[in-house]
Structure 1
């Protein structure tokens, strides 16, 4: 087990509490944190005293702003093994959460992006607050929406999943609940009471799921109206198109400023990321969870061997000029062969679940 102070574990009452403890880095997820969390979840799964798990982020800004992609970027540039290890273990952790047999409550009270979505969306309960800002922004850094995005995005209502995947659109609490990425809305100032209620719960009164539901229901409030709901018809109409190019044509033909704004966002993303992501989400609609994760690992390694991820991180996080030079630079140059190569099996290098 990894020994790190970047993540804290505590047992109170019948609950295992996890705190992501890198507040200055918006609780971005490191390999050490992943490798500390996996055996702890294994222990809690088997421990009859532990009835539920609650995960939160330290500080007042973020639940988890994503995986530590800066470290992966440095490793990739220097030939380090982190480009394999990070994705392999992160995806194994996503699966552990997906199959976790007890209530798993994520308190997404703040920024929740990429890897942070992976730590929350696969659990039974995802509690949003007015501070929630949730997104899968990977196409903007030359990557793809991973951490199980192949599985959960196509299962969102209508075409919301593909919309979120291609745009990296940021969801507040109302939109997160509307889309199904969050299950409940609780005001941020009630989160400490919620934590105390979990720690002090009587787990003998009902099944653990019912106890958790009662605690959350006592604190929940209706969120504001969803802005996404107002654009839902346009999203479903435009994102039903048969290619990324056709989606852009549909958006260009759509009246109003909103569609023009969305088209502008998509045109800034990595063309390779866009086309691979389009294919990924469509394939994922008919895949089981394990198959989706195996495929995502293949995609991750293809992107690690390419150029756009390194250029995206350079432009967004390193030099911060926000002017990535994508290669290829346009959608037409991303051929079906280029897309298909990203999905190629890795043989003995494929992801396995032991």
Structure 2
């Protein structure tokens, strides 16, 4: 029996459809899928019959759970640096192609949307999220950093919300993602298929008729304290402000941060601060250079092992304590 295509495309009325079709792997992106998406977008770019592009994920568990980080670790461990570079270079080129696409690009996000999944949605024109959507950039938990242009996107969220999300890997519901700016519209899962069909008839104009009022932003009561704590210029100062006592959310944030790679917290914060002044192409270039240094750091292989390979969730970070991270090492990892 032939294997199913992991990316399925077709023209449907006014739109071109892309289906990420790897549901057992939560539609995680491998290099073949990235190349397929890039080729499809290139083909439709000048096709007069395609007025907009709609991207969805197969199944009801995930839009796209991210990039195939296990494969990246395998490349690092085996010494196949060229394969690792190819993946990140082509993934980031796809992110930029989406951001600069001349036609409306509409992501229908239902289920998990993390890492690389954010990359193939957040740069689009419209990002529709359901109540089952879960947005997150949890890379500090695997000794990496929020990439796919996140060092450009996250600093541009309101206040210091992006810094909070990047360092903690906090998960956001679909409605909260709209409040934050990662998504643009909230549509219940029960109406998503109807919206998808309407897009083929009306194009992007159909979204307005399906979007529903947002429930309250769950982080709203804590935003002032998030801004205060995560506006600090160093990781140590962020910890100090959180430890000064700011309620249950601060305790939860501290517990989460203490489990992350100390080195990854440092290089992520520095990349976010520098990303405030970069264009998206510049940020993607910096991120690509950072992939070479961060994946070579022992925390990357160890973090992926602990979270995704052995799944013991007990990484041995090097160094294990935030205070022992060498600032010179961090400065060398993040291009100035």
Under TM normalisation by the shorter chain, which class is it?
over 0.9
Pairwise CA distance, 1:174: 2.0
Pick one of 283, 286, 299 that aligns with 2:290.
299
* Counterpart residue number, 1:313: 304
Q: Where does residue 24 of structure 2 map in the other structure? A: 24
Within 5 Å, which residues of 2 pair with 1:34-49? 34-49=34-49
Structure 1 residue 4: Cα displacement: 7.6
- The answer for the alignment partner of 1:173 in structure 2 is 174
Q: Which runs of 4+ in 1 moved over 4 A?
A: none
What does 1:74-153 align with in structure 2 at a 5 Å threshold? 74-80=74-80, 81-153=82-154
Is 1:13 paired with 2:19? no
1:279-337 Cα shifts (integer Å, max 9, x gaps): 00000000011110000001111112111111001101111111100111112222221
Equivalent in the alignment of 2:253? 262
Q: SS where residue 120 of structure 1 aligns?
A: coil
Q: Is the 8 A contact 1:4 1:36 kept in 2?
A: no
The counterpart of 2:217, out of the listed 217, 226, 233, is: 226
> Offset at 1:247?
0.5
Structure-1 residue corresponding to 2:156: 155
TM (norm. structure 2) is 0.97
In 2, the alpha carbon distance for the partners of 1:248 and 1:118 equals 29
Unaligned segments of structure 1, at least 5 residues? 202-210, 346-354
Aligned residues: 333
**Other structure's SS at 1:193 match:** helix
Superposition deviation, residue 159 in structure 1: 0.2
Partner Cα separation in structure 2 for residue 279 and residue 46 of structure 1: 39
Q: How far has the Cα of 1:344 moved from its partner? A: 4.6
For residues 74-99 of structure 1, what are the alpha-carbon distances to aligned partners after superposition, in whole Å with 9 as ceiling and x for unaligned?
12111223211110100000000010
Q: Is the 8 A contact 1:83 1:304 kept in 2?
A: no
Write the distance in 1 (CA, Å) between the matches of 2:4 and 2:151. 30
Do the aligned partners of 1:4 and 1:32 also contact (CA within 8 Å) in 2? no
- 8 Å CA contact retained: 1:295, 1:343: yes
**Aligned with 1:293: secondary structure?**
helix
CA RMSD of aligned residues (A): 1.3
The answer to whether the 8 Å contact 2:303/2:315 transfers is yes
Task: Verify the 8 A CA contact 1:64 1:111 in the aligned structure 2.
Answer: yes
**Cα pair 2:6 2:21 within 8 Å, conserved:** yes
Distance 1:34 1:333, change over 3 A: same
Written as runs of structure 1 = structure 2, the 5 A alignment for 1:179-328 is 179-201=180-202, 211-212=203-204, 214-328=205-319
Distance 1:191 1:70 in 2: 31
Structure 2: tracts of 5 or more residues without a match: none
How many Å separate the matches in 1 of 2:210 and 2:233? 43
Partner-residue secondary structure (3-state), 2:106: strand
